Amino acid sequence: MTDDDSDNAFEPMGLRKIIHVDMDAFYASVEQRDDPALRGKPVAVGGDGIRGVVCAASYEARKFGVRSAIPSSMAKRLCPQLSFVRPRFAVYRQVSKQIRAIFDEFTPHVEPLALDEAYLDVTDDLKGIGSATRIAELIRARIKAETGLTASAGVSYNKFLAKIASDQNKPDGLCLIRPGEGARFVADLPVRRFHGIGPKGAEKMERLGIHTGGDIAAKDMIFLRQHFGSQADYLYRAARGIDLRRVSANRARKSIGAERTYDHDLSTGPALHEALEKIVALVWADIDRLHARGRTITLKLRYADFSLKTRARSLDAPVAFRDQFAGIGHALLDELLPLPQPVRLLGLTLSSLQGERGEGVTPPRDEQLSLL
């Protein structure tokens, strides 16, 4: 584990050179960049209404415990001086395109994960720079010069380790994990740092006496499969610093959707149909822009008591027209009427996609709207 710029050990072993670039508090940093009055102050991007949710938080806000996905009301209690800013996704997408253009100058092998992060495979070293760590440094410098924003980067021989490394020295940091160092690095890693292990998974592991990657590595496959099922293979490999996944420049989008949480519960059929029509317009705009076609339409309702209900319909042929998409969505809603209780969230998704031509750096609408 190191952050110096020597990664010559990659070459003799014929290993991949992977960089994971992660923008620092991206949405909040863009807002602070564009509004000098917000610089150095705790900022939350998101809605500040009764049911608002924090979409992103500046590092100044994180010191108070403000994090993405927590209710805005909780964020205000944690940090009374918190400034809320409504999301500007058009701006974030434009900045993301600037960053993507920088990536593309160094390698065609770019796998975006969201607007603010991506994997890069720089094994081929098209510019003859000679070091993956040096490439990461040049990319970070270019991002800072062209956007005024900082990025952190992780460099290693697989995606799992590169992603972990990018978080190691945040913000505005860089970390290199060389070949032969992966298992040792992961051994001391808290299980919460493993991608895919959420709070509930971490709690389960703690009950089993598992606190670090080394604790996972000490368990055999029989134990892991008994307690973690299909996740066992991933845990077994990750705990040893192994990840065989390739950087995929054309990673397919699985679905396109939108959902909206309302300040006041919707309790009548007409109100729900009116709200659904607005969501249809948002989703179809993305479907049309991406030239995507899919066969499965899923309606999602979250009731006032937070219970969830979904209805889905799969067709033999892809949905071809907006009216067809809207009609099926409204028909699925009719199946759930009359309501057993008021609705606080409504969503609609198209999946089983084919012929999709995504830009790769644009998040699906459900990622955007569910955070407002």
Residues at the binding site for Mg(2+) are: 22, 116
| Rg of the chain, C-alpha, whole Å | 22
**Residues with catalytic function:** 117
For residue 243, give every residue at least 6 positions away whose Cβ sits within 8 Å of its Cβ, in sequence order, or none: 158, 159, 160, 161, 237
What three-state secondary structure class fits 57? strand
Pair 312, 297: CB distance under 8 Å = yes
What three-state secondary structure class fits 210? coil
For residue 314, give every residue at least 6 positions away whose Cβ sits within 8 Å of its Cβ, in sequence order, or none: 295, 296, 352
Instruction: Give Cα 209 to chain centroid, integer Å.
Output: 29
What three-state secondary structure class fits 85? strand
For residue 123, give every residue at least 6 positions away whose Cβ sits within 8 Å of its Cβ, in sequence order, or none: 16, 17
Q: Please, where are the H alpha helices in 293-359?
A: 322-335
In angstroms, the Cα distances linking 311 to 187, 250, 266, 335 are: 43, 30, 18, 8
**Total count of residues recorded for the chain:** 372
